[in-house]
Structure 1
């Protein structure tokens, strides 16, 4: 029996408990999540998960490599082996989001709708680069711990796989007064730009 089958056999037997995560005691919830991570790490110790939903809705289990391309195949293999379980959906990689959200760390707070970008062109490569314009970027740049959090926010917007595979280069600058007049594109439309760029390269 393959390691992925071992994981799914365990999950199938225990999945009912995970439909109540939103309403159970925190200590019980923590134990369930730790058990799930332990079982996942028996398959591959470089994979992680996100899980959510309410008892009367479909539950979702997202398997992620946290952007580590070396383990993308392991993610895809595990999800492709997932069984059909009523009330559950299984997703490979964190997906892009178009929903507005805020991120805050320390005194810095960013809204996803305030982040824009422009594509960068290369004379020697067809790979995609972007310059991302962020409000108060000077303040972020002064704090070394803020840069990884900003990258994590961009990863959340673009989706795990696209962020890792579709972007060869990313740089940041402070936002101008009128981004649209400056020719910038809202970052939440980046997936549309990726699709257009790929079709153009064919």
Structure 2
């Protein structure tokens, strides 16, 4: 609790500088980011932030706290944002929320996610549910990639998959709904597989089926 208060006290003291960062020189922006990272790291080194500056639809600057899809640190994200101060010109959000560019993804017009040596498109990934645990309401899924044999199973690759997932559903929904992710090469015959961007729809449909069967019993 003390570390949370320490971060927010620092943020309140510096929120105007951070908010005005968009108008600063690249050198000053880098300095602002450095101190933001450093102070957030005092609380938890495994979580990150994204700042979204105001546009024509809002006058608030948004600070998104993210665990980068790692469920081990979802609790730290939630606890931090729950204790965020009330600042008139700021909006504080826990986790990356689903992208609004879903139509681009469906039509295959999405830009690839590039992480280090890996380049992946959300529209090129599909999944299949392996198992559903009724006790936890979580799924084990297998995600199929076109070039999995090229990449093999790396930490960066799994991180890329989680980023694609959290841009299709809310980041915290990963923690609530996914227990295990296995990666594999996309088979030649993949018509029966489900696009990864349809994962939320799959969950909603399956949950409705479960509730319906429970009510019948």
Q: Tell me, yes or no, if the aligned pair for 1:53 and 1:60 is still in contact at 8 Å.
A: yes
Answer with 7-16 or 158-167: which moved more: 158-167
Answer with 75-84 or 155-164: which moved more: 155-164
Q: Could you say if the C-alpha distance between residues 187 and 123 of structure 1 is closer, same or farther in structure 2, counting changes exceeding 3 Å?
A: closer
Which of 63, 66, 91 is the equivalent residue of 2:65? 63
For 1:28 and 1:93, locate their aligned partners in 2 and report how far apart those are by CA, in whole Å.
Answer: 26
Q: Measure how far apart 1:178 and its partner are.
A: 6.1
TM-score in terms of structure 1 length? 0.77
Q: Measure how far apart 1:52 and its partner are.
A: 2.7
Q: Could you say if the C-alpha distance between residues 124 and 47 of structure 1 is closer, same or farther in structure 2, counting changes exceeding 3 Å?
A: closer
Q: Tell me, yes or no, if the aligned pair for 1:96 and 1:157 is still in contact at 8 Å.
A: no
Which of 166, 172, 178 is the equivalent residue of 1:167? 178
Name stretches of at least 5 consecutive residues in structure 2 with no aligned partner. 102-109, 212-217
Q: Which residue is equivalent to 1:81?
A: 83
Deviations along 1:120-164, one digit per CA (max 9) or x if unpaired, are 2369986412222212222222xx6xx323222221122243334
Q: Which residue is equivalent to 1:158?
A: 165
Q: Could you say if the C-alpha distance between residues 195 and 122 of structure 1 is closer, same or farther in structure 2, counting changes exceeding 3 Å?
A: closer
For 1:70 and 1:106, locate their aligned partners in 2 and report how far apart those are by CA, in whole Å.
Answer: 23
Q: Could you say if the C-alpha distance between residues 21 and 137 of structure 1 is closer, same or farther in structure 2, counting changes exceeding 3 Å?
A: same
For 2:115 and 2:53, locate their aligned partners in 1 and report how far apart those are by CA, in whole Å.
Answer: 26
For 1:152 and 1:71, locate their aligned partners in 2 and report how far apart those are by CA, in whole Å.
Answer: 14
What pairs up with 1:180-195 in 2 under 5 angstroms? 182-195=191-204
Structure with more helix by fraction: 2
SS of residue in 1 equivalent to 2:114: strand
Answer with 47-56 or 13-22: which moved more: 47-56
Q: Which residue is equivalent to 1:133?
A: 144
For 1:116 and 1:189, locate their aligned partners in 2 and report how far apart those are by CA, in whole Å.
Answer: 9
Q: Measure how far apart 1:29 and its partner are.
A: 1.2
For 1:119 and 1:107, locate their aligned partners in 2 and report how far apart those are by CA, in whole Å.
Answer: 28
Q: Measure how far apart 1:102 and its partner are.
A: 0.8
Deviations along 1:45-86, one digit per CA (max 9) or x if unpaired, are 443222232577532211123344443322212111112223
Is 1:38 aligned to 2:25, yes or no? no
Q: Which residue is equivalent to 2:15?
A: 15
Q: Measure how far apart 1:106 and its partner are.
A: 7.1
- What is the RMSD of the two structures over their aligned residues, measured on CA atoms? 3.1
Answer with 72-81 or 48-57: which moved more: 48-57
Q: Measure how far apart 1:30 and its partner are.
A: 1.6
Q: Could you say if the C-alpha distance between residues 19 and 200 of structure 1 is closer, same or farther in structure 2, counting changes exceeding 3 Å?
A: same
Q: Measure how far apart 1:108 and its partner are.
A: 5.4
Name stretches of at least 5 consecutive residues in structure 1 with no aligned partner. none
